[in-house]
């Protein structure tokens, strides 16, 4: 049997650590090539909601996650193949440092033959930046590094010192000056949500394109070499998913307070036969007609007073809960489901009260990491990332299973049709289990996995 292959230029942007400028540069490249009339498809490594929002606006196309542990190799392979069929350029932004995590950015790049570009904040060093980049590039033989992007370069002389110290097989692709005009806005869990600063982002993208064009080294402004992509043996196009949610409508909270929604999760709901509609717990007075409800994560703590004051919405969701229909509440959605929420200024507001307990913000202390949600409906890959705590909650039905630690993970609660946890679920990892969650029913592990 002949395996189809699609060829597409691709780059994987990585770094020695977080906060080196990966997202800014990935967004700048996406916007630059989009302005050149190219079809750019961007992926983000790992469980991230905020970076994809930025990158989606920059590339003018939805951005999905690629993560071998969370999604599986077949899933990642098929997503890259599908992108290669329609794109002129594929960009993948890594997570943390190049070799951090299990699996790491380097693992993903090596598995799919993606050439990596190292983004490094070179402020305060010159030849040492070259030494660090050389060490990263040659740390593993199965990883191909196309070059270095020197971010926050002080001058052309600064860039020249780095350029001269690099080996011949590791070119300086760009030397980008320090420029606060291109710095993306942030808050306590990362970047600010794109829709909150859409106009400001457009100004930053335009500035970032000029920033790229100002580099003395302009190799980044040409399309990289093409990479060959093929579908997996268990291609998504041939994989059957039972349409367990056929004819069902899922109402999804989406506004300034709730927006941590993977595009891949929406695609999964559609593949299960569901329709979905968005509503705003902040601004709407009532729920849309729906068979199930999804309260995703976000920033309810920043809007707790407004959520508490929207009494008609509280009453509508409470009545929906009493009906026994399926509700999924993740992290911020779980905080909204509790009896009260205390924000960062120690103000306490009444919430839905469909789950016993109180939530409170914890400032800079929190919890994060990859976990498997061991639901009665089946196991679903997930992650936790929060800086809050809950107290006086019911006895959990299960706990998350941490990826690399034996201690119990996040508590999982179920009452009536409600499933609530700090865990953010990745629906494609077990669509049938997700269907049972929204149907408010249980399934055995054998049926759901």
Please tell me what DSSP assigns to residue 296. -
**Which is nearest to 13 in space by CA: 212, 149, 207, 184?**
149
- 8, 76, 153, 331: the catalytic one is 331
Q: Provide the token pair at 132.
A: 């660090």
Q: What is the Cα–Cα distance from 399 to 442, expressed in whole angstroms?
A: 16
Q: What is the Cα–Cα distance from 295 to 288, expressed in whole angstroms?
A: 14
Please tell me what DSSP assigns to residue 144. -
**Which is nearest to 242 in space by CA: 284, 220, 273?**
273
Q: CA-based Rg of the chain, rounded to a whole angstrom?
A: 23
Q: Provide the token pair at 226.
A: 């093409």
**Which is nearest to 279 in space by CA: 299, 303, 306, 253?**
253
Determine how β-strand 398-402 pairs with β-strand 292-295: unpaired
Half-sphere exposure of 266 (CA within 13 A, CB side): 17
Active site includes 331? yes
**Distance of CA 279 to CAs 52, 150, 255, 382, Å?**
21, 43, 8, 24
Long-range contacts of 218-222 (CB under 8 A, 24+ apart): 218/174, 219/147, 219/171, 219/173, 219/174, 220/29, 220/149, 220/173, 220/174, 221/32
Tokens 């800086």 locate to: 387
Active site residues: 331
């Amino acid at each position: 049997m002949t395996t189809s292959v699609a060829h597409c230029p691709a780059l994987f942007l990585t770094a020695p650590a977080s906060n080196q400028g990966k997202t800014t540069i990935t967004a700048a490249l996406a916007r630059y090539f989009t302005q050149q009339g190219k079809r750019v498809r961007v992926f983000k490594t790992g469980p991230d909601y905020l970076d994809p929002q930025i990158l989606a606006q920059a590339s003018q196309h939805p951005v999905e996650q690629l993560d071998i542990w969370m999604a599986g190799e077949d899933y990642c392979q098929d997503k890259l193949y599908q992108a290669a069929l329609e794109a002129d350029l594929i960009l993948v932004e890594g997570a943390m440092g190049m070799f951090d995590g299990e699996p790491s950015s380097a693992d993903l790049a090596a598995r799919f033959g993606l050439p990596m570009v190292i983004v490094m904040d070179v402020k305060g060093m010159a030849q040492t930046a070259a030494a660090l980049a050389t060490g990263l590039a040659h740390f593993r033989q199965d990883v191909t590094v196309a070059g270095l992007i020197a971010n926050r370069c002080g001058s052309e002389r600064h860039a020249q010192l780095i350029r001269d110290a690099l080996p011949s097989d590791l070119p300086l692709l760009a030397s980008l000056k320090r420029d606060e005009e291109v710095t993306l806005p942030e808050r306590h869990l990362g970047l600010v949500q794109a829709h909150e600063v859409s106009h400001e982002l457009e100004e930053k993208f335009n500035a970032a394109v000029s920033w790229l064009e100002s580099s003395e080294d302009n190799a980044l402004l040409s399309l990289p070499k093409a990479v060959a992509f093929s579908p997996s043996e268990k291609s998504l196009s041939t994989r059957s998913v039972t349409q367990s949610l056929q004819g069902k409508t899922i109402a999804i909270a989406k506004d300034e307070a709730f927006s941590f929604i993977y595009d891949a999760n929406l695609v999964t709901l559609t593949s299960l036969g569901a329709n979905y509609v968005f509503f705003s717990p902040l601004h709407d007075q009532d729920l849309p007609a729906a068979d199930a409800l999804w309260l995703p994560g976000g920033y309810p703590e920043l809007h707790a007073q407004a959520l508490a004051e929207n009494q008609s919405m509280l009453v509508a969701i409470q009545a929906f809960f009493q009906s026994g229909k399926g509700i999924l509440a993740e992290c911020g959605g779980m905080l909204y489901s509790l009896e009260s929420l205390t924000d960062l200024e120690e103000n306490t507001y009444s919430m839905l009260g469909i789950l016993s307990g109180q939530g409170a913000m914890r400032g800079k202390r929190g919890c994060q990491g990859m976990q498997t949600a061991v639901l009665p409906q089946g196991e679903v890959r997930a992650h936790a990332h929060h800086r809050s705590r809950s107290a006086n909650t019911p006895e959990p039905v299960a706990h998350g299973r941490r990826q690399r630690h034996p201690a119990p993970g996040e508590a999982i609660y179920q009452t009536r049709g409600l499933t609530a946890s700090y865990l953010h679920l990745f629906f494609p990892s077990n669509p049938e289990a997700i269907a049972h969650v929204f149907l408010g029913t249980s399934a055995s592990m054998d049926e759901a996995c």
